[in-house]
Structure 1
Amino acid sequence: MFHANGDDSPTHAPVFDAQLTQLVPAPAPAPFELYVLAQSWQPAFCLHRETEFPGCRAPREFWRTHFTLHGLWPEHEAGSPPGFCDGEPFDADAVEQAVGLDVLREFWPDVKYSDASPQYPQFWAHEWTRHGTCSGLPLRAYFSSAVGLARNGTAQTPQIVQESVGKQVALTELRAAFAARAPSAAHGAPLSEELFAAVLQCTGHGGDTLSQVFTCWSKDAQNVPVARRACPPHVLKEDSCTRPMIRVLAFPDSGR
């Protein structure tokens, strides 16, 4: 996401395939100012569901140590986000051709279904219908851009999380690892570094179990997400990790 190891990670987001923005005329977007990138910690989602869902019973190795995509959501500086806009219909074949089916399953999985299930693409269809249609991006470009953030080094899982699976981590260390530093300047002021905080979401007793992270992204003239930026106050209020020590859950060993 921004920071895999903290201070020196890139905050500019290379697009997975920028050419895709030219393949299909973009739908007229709902006005919005930024994106929220939501990423999930699958071991937390699978807690007490280990026998219920196929992906929880037999998780991929990548999911054991990395956050996976929940969604890329157009967002306003204030007020409710846009949703369910007019746009091209979801086409699973087109998305799979643009990004790659195995890449999608790795970075944007739906653990509720097996790889062979015809229902597997329903999660992607929901994210497109509710959020992607409001992005102004063509279908293929929307999914390529989201996967590109997670795959190309700008929205990676911090090293401290990867090394602390099954353990506890100080909340202050987690916040530092997920933060991003980027050049910033007020109008007429000299360029300086600004620290962009992530929104950490926790479940469990008093908010002690890491489950999800939100980061905010600016966009270019074509509505492609390009760089970490500050989250608006109403997004920051979604933070729910409150305990001094936070659990980073692991999948059960029986899943190996």
Structure 2
Amino acid sequence: MNEDASPQHISREGYTRGSRQANTLRARACVDAEMRSRITWMLLGAIVATVVVVATSTFHHPRRKEEVQLPTQPQVTEDLEQNDTIDNVDFDLKVEFDLYVLGMIYAPEFCFQNRFNDYPGCSHPEEFWRTHMTIGGLFPYFEDGYYAEYCEGNETLEPSAIHTIKPQLERYWPNIGTRDHMSLWQTHWQQHGICSNLTQLKYFEAALNVMIVTPNLIRTRYGTSFERQELDRAFNNKALLVCSHRQWLKEVQFCMGRTPEGAPTDIIDCPDAIKENDNCVGMIQLATFP
């Protein structure tokens, strides 16, 4: 039998030609498979994108506690008088909040909570801070428990505006952590003070004027504990007591009325929504500086 006629025998030329044909077929199959794969992924991507758009349009993010819907600047229309200009139109952007909340903080507890931050004010505290609470903030509030913030732009606190009361602020409203007092006051002014409708000087004067005197119960019991009822009586049952872990006194809050001009007035009963800040129970502990 002729070996050339054997089906098992394939010449080098025939083998090469057959290999090329097989490779071509395999290449075409790979291309077809890749195209099908790409088309499938494109369709899946379109479906996923549609689902995401629908889900995003129907999901409502909950409103955070500190978010407040503030008045927006009214639109200037053709209803203005002929002689009116943008410069002499009085835009009323004031926030009609309901009351103030004054916060008085207990410095030793603040320092204990921040004991790993190496604050100079905590490692070398003022002696006054051991026996007296200091101002933590004067906050314009609404009766529903929301507070006003960032109301009329980004007005910078001018040091010259509060120069005359700076010594009192350093003593009664200090930056306990870094001792950079001006940066603390600047933050409070831009975030909350602007919402008071008061001038810079009047806002900080108001905080000093309504500051609560630290009762003897706190001044003489540094590092000890007492029943909650004792502290309630010391503040005439008008204070909200805020504690770390419901036991370590951190802050005392007072609700105050306001005048039509925006100045704080006398202590009032807090609305129920704000009373939720009160969380101290049983025995109250006074921390010491770390």
Does TM, scored on the shorter chain, surpass 0.5? yes
Amino acid at match of 1:170: E
Q: Give the 3-state SS of the residue equivalent to 2:284 in structure 1.
A: strand
Given candidates 144, 160, 166, the residue that maps to 1:94 is: 160
Structure 2 residue 222 is the aligned partner of structure 1 residue 165: yes
Structure number, greater radius of gyration: 2
Structure 2 residue 228 is the aligned partner of structure 1 residue 228: no
Alpha-carbon RMSD: 1.9
> Where has structure 1 moved over 4 Å in runs of 4 or more?
none
Shift in CA distance, 225/124, structure 1 to aligned 2, threshold 3 Å = same
- The 8 Å contact of residues 135 and 223 in structure 1, kept in 2 or not, is answered as yes
How big is the shift at 1:222?
Answer: 1.9
Structure 2 residue 128 is the aligned partner of structure 1 residue 67: no
- The 8 Å contact of residues 154 and 190 in structure 2, kept in 1 or not, is answered as no
How big is the shift at 1:49?
Answer: 1.6
Amino acid at match of 1:32: F
How big is the shift at 1:112?
Answer: 2.0
Matches within 5 A, 1:95-244: 95-100=161-166, 102-114=167-179, 119-150=180-211, 155-179=212-236, 197-204=238-245, 207-242=246-281, 244=282
- The 8 Å contact of residues 208 and 241 in structure 1, kept in 2 or not, is answered as yes
**What are structure 1's unaligned runs of at least 5 residues?**
1-26, 180-195
Equivalents in 2 of 1:53, 1:79: separation in Å?
32
- The 8 Å contact of residues 51 and 57 in structure 1, kept in 2 or not, is answered as no
Amino acid at match of 1:128: W
Residue 105 of structure 2 corresponds to 40
**Number of aligned pairs?**
198
Q: Give the 3-state SS of the residue equivalent to 1:122 in structure 2.
A: helix
- The 8 Å contact of residues 145 and 274 in structure 2, kept in 1 or not, is answered as no
How big is the shift at 1:87?
Answer: 5.8
Equivalents in 2 of 1:197, 1:103: separation in Å?
25
Structure 1 window deviating more from structure 2 (89-98 vs 225-234): it is: 89-98
Equivalents in 1 of 2:154, 2:199: separation in Å?
8
- The 8 Å contact of residues 208 and 245 in structure 1, kept in 2 or not, is answered as yes
Amino acid at match of 1:36: V
Matches within 5 A, 1:26-37: 28-37=93-102
- The 8 Å contact of residues 157 and 190 in structure 2, kept in 1 or not, is answered as no
**What are structure 2's unaligned runs of at least 5 residues?**
1-91
Equivalents in 2 of 1:51, 1:135: separation in Å?
32
Deviations, residues 111-162 of structure 1 (Å, cap 9, x unaligned): 2214xxxx54221111111111111101110011102222xxxx11111111
Equivalents in 2 of 1:232, 1:148: separation in Å?
23
Q: Give the 3-state SS of the residue equivalent to 2:175 in structure 1.
A: coil
How big is the shift at 1:96?
Answer: 3.5
- The 8 Å contact of residues 135 and 142 in structure 1, kept in 2 or not, is answered as yes
How big is the shift at 1:95?
Answer: 4.2
RCO (CA 8 Å, sep 6+): is it higher in 1 or 2? 1
Q: Give the 3-state SS of the residue equivalent to 2:198 in structure 1.
A: coil
- The 8 Å contact of residues 105 and 250 in structure 2, kept in 1 or not, is answered as yes
Report the TM-score when normalising by structure 1.
0.72
Percent of residue pairs identical: 31
Given candidates 40, 48, 52, the residue that maps to 2:118 is: 52
Q: Flag the structure with higher helix content.
A: 2
- The 8 Å contact of residues 238 and 267 in structure 2, kept in 1 or not, is answered as no
Q: Flag the structure with higher strand content.
A: 1
- The 8 Å contact of residues 100 and 255 in structure 2, kept in 1 or not, is answered as yes
